[in-house]
Amino acid sequence: MAGEPAESGAVRAVSTVEVETALAVLPGPRSASSSASGAEPEAAGGAGRFEEEWRRALELVAGSDEVDLICHICPDGDALGSALAAALALRGLGKRVRVSFGDDPQVIPESLSFLPGQELIVPAAAVPAAPGLVLAFDAASEERLGLLRDRALAADALVVFDHHASNPGFGTVRLIDPSAPATAVLVDELLRRLRVPLDQSIATCLYTGIATDTGSFKYRATTPATHEMAGRMLATGIRQDLISRQLWDTTSFGYLKVLAGALERAAFEPEEAGGHGLVWTWVPYQDLALFGVTVEEIEGLIDVLRKPAEADVALVLKQDPDGTLRGSCRSRGAVDVAAACARLGGGGHVYAAGFSTREAVADAVQRFRTALAEVAAAAEADPAGPDAR
């Protein structure tokens, strides 16, 4: 999953009181850091947190001449940007590095084609069966490593860099910080500790990671520290205007036709999600084939579906050629979609989550409706409980 979506779109036709009430129950790094009046580190890799994990990670890196850097399947900007930035840094330190992810074939989205360091990417099969040191980036679970799961688990050491709250914890060293807006923030900290100076290639990768996972600095997890990090990246002279255009403002004409079909099929169900409303649609594989559009190109479809103010939850089901449906969902905050997706075997963040299923569209949506209703009911029964988050 790419990151948490927004509260930015949460300006809807409701009273100020309702907005303030909603904001009051939402957790977030902003309230946490303000109450600590700056005494607490704001995010992730900040000094004082995970010190033992960082010590072990740096020791492992220092002791390895060869490092495999892997990220989750169907990589997004944070996954690939984090892995490539770390790989470029370690290569700069004289280490042999391989970057990989567990898809076959490996598809790098056109929107990420500008990322530097891609010459370091190797097929999953080129990663040793029992590697020495593996660094995993942005993978919320072992399963998200796909074809590389077994190899990663067979490594002498597996260091996991991640920021998904749903991460159950795996690997020998776990640098997992749900307060970080992107895994790239943890990589930024890794480079600081390794004393690797930023260059434009590394900065492009890290900027892409935080920009994608914060929805271009719009989402709630964005903090002053996020902007401070982005500022350091821009200070290297990278062209954030070109990066942004490639990431968000470039599509094929075929995408417009697929979008048109998806919007035509969109349904608004005000009673769902405990009365908070659901907007959903699906994209048949035939549409993608007809208009020559890849499944990666429609990742952004959910950002259109989640715009209607009438609904708290949005869902897009994307059909793979083999019939598998991959669901992406977003919440404005009334319903925890990570909890709902977990009931369908998926996961993610409170505001952004996903799942996949082999069911028919109608069955998948019905099961999602049921999961939403359960999560909404649990939140109502216990507003302070985990499902309320």
* Binding interface with Mn ion (CB under 5 A): 78, 138, 183, 213
In the complex, least distance from residue 125 CB atom to Mn ion, rounded to whole angstroms: 25
Residues 23, 27, 32, 33, Cα dihedral to 10°: -70
Look at residue 342 and give its three-state secondary structure. helix
In terms of CB distance, is 177 or 213 closer to Mn ion? Answer: 213
In terms of CB distance, is 111 or 319 closer to Mn ion? Answer: 111
In the complex, least distance from residue 250 CB atom to Mn ion, rounded to whole angstroms: 21
In the complex, least distance from residue 91 CB atom to Mn ion, rounded to whole angstroms: 22
Q: List the 278-283 sheet strands across, edge first.
A: 267-269, 278-283, 313-319, 325-331, 352-357, 347-348
In the complex, least distance from residue 102 CB atom to Mn ion, rounded to whole angstroms: 16
In terms of CB distance, is 138 or 142 closer to Mn ion? Answer: 138
In terms of CB distance, is 121 or 187 closer to Mn ion? Answer: 187
Strand partners, 339: none
Look at residue 354 and give its three-state secondary structure. strand
State phi, psi for 20 to the nearest 5 degrees: -65, -35
> Which strand (E) or helix (H) includes residue 378?
helix 361-381
Where are the extended beta strands (E) located within the chain?
66-71, 96-101, 133-137, 157-162, 173-176, 267-269, 278-283, 313-319, 325-331, 347-348, 352-357
Q: Of 186, 185, 198, 188, whose CA–CA distance to 92 is shortest? A: 198
User: Which DSSP string corresponds to 205-232?
Assistant: HHHHHHHHHTTTTTSTT--HHHHHHHHH
In the complex, least distance from residue 318 CB atom to Mn ion, rounded to whole angstroms: 19
Strand partners, 96: 66
In terms of CB distance, is 183 or 208 closer to Mn ion? Answer: 183
| Cβ–Cβ < 8 Å for 84, 205 | yes
Look at residue 327 and give its three-state secondary structure. strand
In terms of CB distance, is 180 or 372 closer to Mn ion? Answer: 180
Q: What is the rounded CA–CA span in Å between residue 54 and residue 44?
A: 11
In the complex, least distance from residue 248 CB atom to Mn ion, rounded to whole angstroms: 16
In terms of CB distance, is 72 or 149 closer to Mn ion? Answer: 72
In the complex, least distance from residue 307 CB atom to Mn ion, rounded to whole angstroms: 22
Helix axes 77-92, 200-213, angle to 10 degrees: 160
Shortest-Cβ-distance residue relative to Mn ion:
78
In terms of CB distance, is 78 or 312 closer to Mn ion? Answer: 78
Q: List the 66-71 sheet strands across, edge first.
A: 96-101, 66-71, 133-137, 157-162, 173-176
The three-point CA angle 13-18-24 to 5° equals 135
Look at residue 348 and give its three-state secondary structure. strand
In terms of CB distance, is 144 or 276 closer to Mn ion? Answer: 144
In the complex, least distance from residue 138 CB atom to Mn ion, rounded to whole angstroms: 4
In terms of CB distance, is 112 or 293 closer to Mn ion? Answer: 112
Give the sign of the dihedral formed by CA 270, CA 317, CA 208, CA 61.
positive
In the complex, least distance from residue 77 CB atom to Mn ion, rounded to whole angstroms: 8
In the complex, least distance from residue 163 CB atom to Mn ion, rounded to whole angstroms: 6
